[in-house]
Structure 1
Amino acid sequence: MNPINNRRAFLRSCAVLGAVGAAGILLPGCEKKDAGAGKSAAVIKGRADQVVDFKYPDNPSFDLVYVADSLGYFEGSRARPKYIGRIAAPQIIPLTGTGEIDFGARMVPLVISAIASGLDLKVVAAGGKTLQEAPHMKYFVRDNSGIVKPKDLEGKTVGFNSFGACAEFVTKKYLREQGVNVDKINWVVVPDNQGEQTLATGNIDVAIIHPPSSGGAENNPALRKLWSDYDLDGGLGGMAPYSVFGKFSRENPEATRDVVNAIARAANWVNANPDDARKITSERIGMKLELVERFAYIDDLVVTEPPIQYYIDILENEGKIKKGSIGVKDVYTNEFNPFAQGHV
């Protein structure tokens, strides 16, 4: 067995057998590995003949579905990921809303816009959060660019992974508050894994990059970090939730609940074991470990309303949705999260 498979087998053993430790039998070597899972380790009672495959992208990213799968959290549940190949970031929410995929992880404004356009999906798990030491996205410039303050961006080209998401709206909101004319900025789409190189070669002046890809830019001596999204809004816009195709959740409520359970457990495990989680991602996507930046997740992935209202307000102010047409509760539900306890 190769080293990667050895590691995955070890992690699965720790995750699956962690319950043994709770019964008073300690599995040697697993004490740290299961530190984050105990809080949220719900018992799944589904049988093999009830298993439902859910369609999911197979993208080179730091993702809770991949982590949960590596840890064995879908074993014994009523849901299994069926990876269907890579899907470009801008297409994930539209394809979730039409059922081409069953779950998708992308930012709140994309979900709101999709719902407003009549697509059938809803946020069911909160996903990532922004911390000062683990931001959702970072802003980079060339070290010799002379760009140091918001006004310097006027007349420049900014690259980010898609229109309609956090990188566009958080940035524009902040820049307007700083007196910047955002119409004087050239906004272009550059995938996260191409942002560092595109910036370094001078094809753009600012790159907004998400983890884990931001690690390369962070360690590139020719580049300089300008800000993170934590600097711009204190993390309010950093919730990166998981959404489900509505028809899938209506037809498969138990499987939907098991998916949310698995990724919530994985989120807590990642928060408790950030370096081990980075190793899983490094091995999975073939990125050097020292370049893989950590993620932080909302405890138990319970959705709260302020991050959603934040983006509803932005979309209304940007003229992207009609004022009052979408309410917070149209966007999310905690009904499939076994750890929500009273949240709806």
Structure 2
Amino acid sequence: MPSTRQSLRRALAAAVTLLALTAATGCGADAAAGGRQTTQLRYQGSVGQVTLPELAADLGYLGDVKLKWIGNVTGGPADIQATATGQTDFGGAFNGAIVKLRAANAPITAVVAYYGSDAQTFQGYYVRQDSPIHGPRDLIGRKVGMNTLGAHAEAVLKTWLAEGGLTPAEIAKVELVALPPVNIEQSLRQRRIDVAVLGGVIRDKAVAAGGVRTVFTDYELLGAFSGGSYVFRDDFIRRNPETVRAFVTGVGKAIEWARTQPRETVIARLESIIAKRGRNEDPSLVRYWKSSGVAGKGGLISDREFTTWIDWLAGAGELKGDRPKPTDLYTNRFNEFATAGGGA
């Protein structure tokens, strides 16, 4: 398996190359005829789960804007690369992955937070009950399974290992394995990996089945924070500002709807959405839903949610040249939950 850094560099290079080709040929559904703004947004979903835009659409919060599902994706970096290259109109990823793609000159901007960690919803690093792994040093030479490399799970893990006293050389001996989210728990139980990174409903389902225990969580390490954002290409935003505004505000309203409704009401709505869309999915995961974990009201983004990862990436040697400013990476100006002067 190639190193994570090499894999990420190749992926980013491919994304930037494709982006240049897309711009040169004038492709993209956002080039609405006669200057009209598009009302259809292409996106990728997640198997057995309901995204916030899907929830917003079902609640009627997107107005005239319609979503067009073009397939599923297992990791954020691939999702935002698809957006940067014009294959989709929006995508979501860990904020550190957004920093990396922007550092590779991809013209994308984060507009609304969509997931995070709090006391109810977080990413945990789990081992089998009989595992000898308890602390950072126990992971040397072990395999850690996660949904994608170069994203949230890897950044949090390496931060924890570094704070636990491991040197860069020792951290490099911890083997990272990318697995589809629905297969990570099974791989842990079958002893194909030593540690499983589990979040949200997938984590709760694994814990309910028993036989696993927590080593640490991102919430324990960092406190409550929004971890990822939805992005649009900058040219799409320029051509379709009101469409972006409708999307951002709709997602923000969906976040607050889910935050204020009884848990049973939210779960029933998620199950209904899965049943109606007819993708032949198992709806059992959404029954473990607890919260979106988004820290800011209506998905508002804060500087901290980017500076944390800018500093980490710079310290790891992943950023060349000047560090980007958080306000160059995101904006709250399309979010109606932003107070006067509070949006970047």
- Pair 1:94 & 2:81 matched: yes
Q: Distance in 1 between matches of 2:197 and 2:321?
A: 29
Does the Cα contact within 8 Å between 2:201 and 2:289 map onto a contact in 1? Answer: yes
Please report how far the alpha carbon of residue 96 of structure 1 lies from its aligned counterpart in structure 2 after TM superposition. Answer: 1.2
Does the Cα contact within 8 Å between 2:255 and 2:292 map onto a contact in 1? Answer: no
Does the Cα contact within 8 Å between 2:109 and 2:234 map onto a contact in 1? Answer: yes
Please report how far the alpha carbon of residue 109 of structure 1 lies from its aligned counterpart in structure 2 after TM superposition. Answer: 0.9
Q: Which residue in the other structure is 1:190 paired with?
A: 179
- Pair 1:116 & 2:103 matched: yes
Q: Which residue in the other structure is 2:7 paired with?
A: none
Q: Distance in 1 between matches of 2:185 and 2:319?
A: 33
With 241-250 and 264-273 compared, the bigger mean Cα shift is at 241-250
Q: Which one-letter code corresponds to 1:250 in the other structure?
A: R
Please report how far the alpha carbon of residue 226 of structure 1 lies from its aligned counterpart in structure 2 after TM superposition. Answer: 2.4
Number of residue pairs the alignment of both structures matches: 292
Does the Cα contact within 8 Å between 1:281 and 1:292 map onto a contact in 2? Answer: no
- Pair 1:83 & 2:69 matched: yes
Instruction: Name the SS for the 1:174 alignment partner.
Output: helix
1:280-318 deviation digits (Å, cap 9, x = unpaired): 334525332544453232311111101101111111111
1:239-258 deviation digits (Å, cap 9, x = unpaired): 22111122211110000100
Q: Distance in 2 between matches of 1:201 and 1:140?
A: 14
Cα separation, partners in 2 of 1:58 and 1:268, compared to 1, 3 Å: same
Q: Which residue in the other structure is 2:245 paired with?
A: 257
Instruction: Name the SS for the 1:54 alignment partner.
Output: strand
Q: Distance in 2 between matches of 1:124 and 1:242?
A: 6
Q: Distance in 2 between matches of 1:210 and 1:191?
A: 13
Where does 1:197-208 land on structure 2 (aligned, <5 Å)?
Answer: 197-208=186-197
Aligned-residue RMSD, C-alpha: 1.9
Runs of 5+ unmatched residues, structure 1: 1-48
Q: Distance in 2 between matches of 1:94 and 1:69?
A: 24
Q: Distance in 2 between matches of 1:109 and 1:275?
A: 33
Please report how far the alpha carbon of residue 55 of structure 1 lies from its aligned counterpart in structure 2 after TM superposition. Answer: 0.7
Q: Which one-letter code corresponds to 1:329 in the other structure?
A: T
Does the Cα contact within 8 Å between 1:54 and 1:101 map onto a contact in 2? Answer: yes
1:190-213 deviation digits (Å, cap 9, x = unpaired): 122111111111000000022222
Does the Cα contact within 8 Å between 2:144 and 2:194 map onto a contact in 1? Answer: yes
1:137-160 deviation digits (Å, cap 9, x = unpaired): 111111111222222111211011
Q: Distance in 2 between matches of 1:140 and 1:253?
A: 42
Q: Distance in 2 between matches of 1:116 and 1:275?
A: 42
Cα separation, partners in 2 of 1:104 and 1:331, compared to 1, 3 Å: same
- Pair 1:220 & 2:209 matched: yes
Query: Of 234, 238, 243, which residue of structure 2 is paired with 1:246?
Result: 234
Where does 1:138-157 land on structure 2 (aligned, <5 Å)?
Answer: 138-157=124-143
TM score, norm. by length of structure 2: 0.80
Does the Cα contact within 8 Å between 2:144 and 2:196 map onto a contact in 1? Answer: yes
- Pair 1:179 & 2:165 matched: yes
Q: Which one-letter code corresponds to 1:239 in the other structure?
A: G
Q: Which residue in the other structure is 1:16 paired with?
A: none
Does the Cα contact within 8 Å between 2:127 and 2:133 map onto a contact in 1? Answer: yes
Q: Distance in 2 between matches of 1:91 and 1:166?
A: 13
- Pair 1:296 & 2:293 matched: yes
Cα separation, partners in 2 of 1:138 and 1:62, compared to 1, 3 Å: farther
- Pair 1:270 & 2:268 matched: no
- Pair 1:164 & 2:150 matched: yes
TM score, norm. by length of structure 1: 0.80
Does the Cα contact within 8 Å between 2:136 and 2:161 map onto a contact in 1? Answer: yes
Q: Distance in 2 between matches of 1:306 and 1:294?
A: 21
Please report how far the alpha carbon of residue 132 of structure 1 lies from its aligned counterpart in structure 2 after TM superposition. Answer: 1.8
Q: Which residue in the other structure is 2:119 paired with?
A: 132
Q: Distance in 1 between matches of 2:112 and 2:155?
A: 21
Does the Cα contact within 8 Å between 1:62 and 1:211 map onto a contact in 2? Answer: no
Q: Which residue in the other structure is 1:332 paired with?
A: 330
Cα separation, partners in 2 of 1:325 and 1:227, compared to 1, 3 Å: closer
Q: Which one-letter code corresponds to 1:64 in the other structure?
A: L
Q: Which one-letter code corresponds to 2:109 in the other structure?
A: K
Does the Cα contact within 8 Å between 2:41 and 2:90 map onto a contact in 1? Answer: yes
Q: Which one-letter code corresponds to 1:170 in the other structure?
A: V
